């Protein structure tokens, strides 16, 4: 049960968080408003006072919860001279903090993307902007690496960023099916090994 001060803003925020949890566990379409209301102990009147429909609630969850979730999780220093090492550290840190539930339920952003992108254009646009933001962070980091000489200058950073995000989501997604953190970890190793090949090669003697 989510506890919160009974102020309007806190009520809205508490509903958002409860909705995020419910959607994370059941998907958006199977998410039940009444279960959300149980989680946060408010009534339907409160929910429909703050959100005009289930869909608008879903949109707000993407914009205000899932977006921040991703942004915070991937805030390696974009100006780092060595983005490849930064990314490695970020991923290793995420793996350490990963819970049973993370492995079980996967990435909330990707879950919503797979379920809702084909069905609803509003969801697709919102989800895609989060993906684009994420990719941009990678791009900036790699460009900084190229400037610092830790990443090969011939690397197409945009395509690489897209590939990295896709691979990461794919690995986490396959991990949901395998239900194994060790599987996720060792498959991510392949990705990180690939990243290492993007460093400038020492001159051949």
Residues at the site binding DNA, with contacts judged by CB under 7 A: 6-8, 11-12, 31-35, 42-46, 48-50, 52-55
Assess 133 for contact with its own copies (CB under 8 A). Answer: no
Question: What is the contact mask toward its own copies in residues 181 to 200, using x (rule: CB under 8 A)?
Answer: --x--xx-xxx--x--x---
Kindly state whether residue 106 participates in binding its own copies, applying the rule CB under 8 A: yes
Alpha-carbon dihedral sign for residues 165, 170, 82, 149 = negative
Piece of 59-67, 77-85, 116-124, 136-144 that binds its own copies (CB under 8 A):
116-124
Residue closer to its own copies by CB (options 33, 174) is 174
Q: Which does 192 bind (CB under 5 to 8 A by kind): DNA, its own copies, none?
A: none
Rounded to the nearest whole angstrom, what is the least distance from the CB of residue 160 to DNA in the complex? 39
Backbone conformation region of residue 134, classed left if phi is above 0, alpha if psi is from -120 to 50, else beta: alpha
User: Which whole-number Å values give the CA distances from 160 to 133, 151, 176, 201, in the listed order?
Assistant: 14, 12, 24, 18
User: From the list 4, 48, 59, 131, which residue makes contact with its own copies (rule: CB under 8 A)?
Assistant: 131
CA distances from 3 to 6, 67, 83 (A): 9, 23, 40
Nearer to DNA, 52 or 97 (CB): 52
Nearest-angstrom CA–CA distance, 68 and 70? 5
Q: Are 200 and 82 in contact (CB under 8 A)?
A: no
Which stretches of the chain bind its own copies, using CB under 8 A?
Answer: 25-27, 29-30, 104-106, 110-111, 113-115, 117-119, 124, 127-128, 131, 156, 159-160, 162-163, 165-171, 173-174, 176-179, 183, 186-187, 189-191, 194, 197, 204
């Amino acid at each position: 049960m989510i506890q919160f001060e009974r102020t309007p803003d806190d009520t809205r925020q508490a509903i958002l968080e409860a909705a995020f949890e419910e959607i994370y566990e059941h998907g958006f379409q199977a998410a039940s408003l009444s279960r959300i209301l149980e989680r946060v102990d408010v009534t339907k009147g409160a929910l429909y006072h703050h959100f005009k429909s289930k869909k608008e609630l879903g949109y707000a969850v993407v914009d205000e919860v899932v977006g921040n979730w991703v942004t915070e999780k991937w805030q390696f220093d974009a100006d780092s001279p060595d983005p490849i090492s930064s990314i490695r550290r970020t991923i290793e840190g995420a793996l350490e903090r990963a819970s049973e539930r993370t492995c079980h339920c996967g990435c909330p952003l990707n879950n919503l993307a797979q379920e809702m992108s084909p069905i609803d254009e509003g969801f697709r646009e919102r989800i895609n902007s989060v993906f684009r933001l994420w990719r941009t962070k990678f791009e900036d980091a790699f460009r900084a690496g190229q400037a610092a000489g830790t990443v090969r200058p011939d690397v197409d950073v945009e395509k690489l960023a897209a590939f990295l995000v896709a691979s990461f989501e794919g690995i986490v997604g396959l991990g949901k099916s395998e239900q194994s953190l060790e599987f996720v970890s060792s498959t991510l190793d392949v990705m990180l090994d690939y990243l290492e090949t993007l460093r400038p090669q020492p001159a051949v003697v």
